[in-house]
Amino acid sequence: MTQRSGPGIGPDYLVAGRYRLRAKIGGGGMGAVWLAHDKLLDREVAVKQVATTIGLDADTAEALRSSTIHEGRIAAQLSHLHAIAMYDVAVHSGEPWLVMEHLPSRSLAHALTLANTLPPFEVAQIGAQVADALAEAHAAGIIHRDIKPGNILVADRGRALGMVKISDFGISRAKGESRSEADVITGTPAFLAPEVARGDDHSEASDVFSLGATLYTATEGQPPFGFNTDSVRFLEKIARAQITPPQRSEQITDTLLRMLEPNPANRPGMAEVRDELAATIIGPGGNVAYLLGVPVRSAEGTVPMWAHRTTTYTESRTSRAHRIKSEDSAARQQNSPITHAEPVVPWKAEPAAAQRSSGPRSTATPQTARLGTTTRTRTTSTAKPLVVAALLLIAVLAAIALIVVLLTT
């Protein structure tokens, strides 16, 4: 459906006598998303303007209104730390607008344009937090159906910096709902489960696959089925479940491969996914709640550079990481732009990560420098005594030789 803008809709437009539009901040599903000010509660909100019903026939217009109300009802059923909250469905001039939580953020898709790939340590946290939200959605009978990097938001400023939230339940459906013929395949092709590409219904298992494909993309830099501009052949490839095995996923490889199982019956549930990913961070049997409601952190315990709004294409994660490796630990604490983001709870990194961040890595350069200085100083300070000793020895030997000569004569 082509999106149409209603007459006069733009900055300063007042919706339902309450929500003052400020700026368009994006689009998703079936409409534009605006940053707005809630006059009643004096807070910023995100308002989704669905495609206007102007110019549509009565049946199509009613279907659009109904789908918008449906989206609001589905999203309102879920209240979770790692899901964008639905506040209201406002009816304005006969058309519904969705009013949601506004999270100043960048999507995971945007982050990947900056960093190309993310460390598995960080991807595991993102996955565990999103999986926890989706596990609650599944328990409520809600299937997302469009999990992808563009629908995972990471706060990029303010007190929420580094917080992860799943968004856009726009094509979600309650389990068991019927679908129309035009709704046979929904979602983003690169992240579709094979059974969905073959025409089967979405399910909790297909959500698991889509999240696995999203996390795979974050570690590998491309979706598991790669990229293809030929949508028909691409769907055929997906239907055959021909994934490229991950190469950079390290400790989360086994979990990813289970999530990407061709047979949906062999995939873990979303709660199991959460627990497995969390275990790579806090260890087997650790308290998963420790990872919830907190920002994503690097192995060093700070919010990753890619999550910051100030990060640009001119300073990639790779170049920054290379520079950090040669810096002294104390210098990093004073100069790094990300060290102000203190963890809100004590951070228990995995043992290997802890060794990397607080062990030899942070002190290797200073130790080498000090050892080099000590060696040079020792060489300089012992040179003069050695020369003096040699001269004294020569003098003693000369004196002995002279005495021997005198005695023999």
Q: Residue 46: which region, alpha, beta or left (left: phi > 0; alpha: psi -120 to 50)?
A: beta
10 Å Cβ neighbour count for 109?
15
Task: Say which of 12, 88, 132, 146 is annotated catalytic.
Answer: 146
The bridge status of strand 14-15 relative to strand 142-143 is unpaired
290 Cβ contact partners less than 8 Å away, ≥ 6 residues apart = 282, 345, 348
Distance in angstroms (rounded) separating the CA atoms of residues 326 and 369: 12
φ/ψ region of 329 (left if φ > 0, alpha if ψ in -120 to 50, else beta) reads alpha
Separation of alpha carbons 103 and 45, rounded Å: 8
The structure tokens listed for 338 are 């990300």
CB atoms inside a 10 Å sphere around CB 98: 26
Q: Give the DSSP H or E segment for 98.
A: strand 95-101
Give the residues across from 44 on adjacent strands: 37
Backbone angles phi, psi at 251, to 5 degrees: -70, -15
Does the annotation flag 325 for ligand binding? no
Distances (CA, A) of 273 to 125, 129, 189, 257, 281: 11, 10, 22, 11, 13
* C-alpha torsion sign, points 270, 48, 177, 195: negative
Residue 375 half-sphere exposure toward CB, CA atoms < 13 A: 6
Query: 193 vs 142, 202, 239, 285, 315, CA distance in Å?
Result: 17, 8, 8, 30, 35
* Catalytic residue list contains 132: no
Name, in order, each residue with C-beta under 8 angstroms of 2's C-beta and a sequence gap of 6 or more: 51
The set of catalytic residues is 146
Q: Which parts are annotated binding residues for ATP? A: 48
Known binding-site residues equal 48
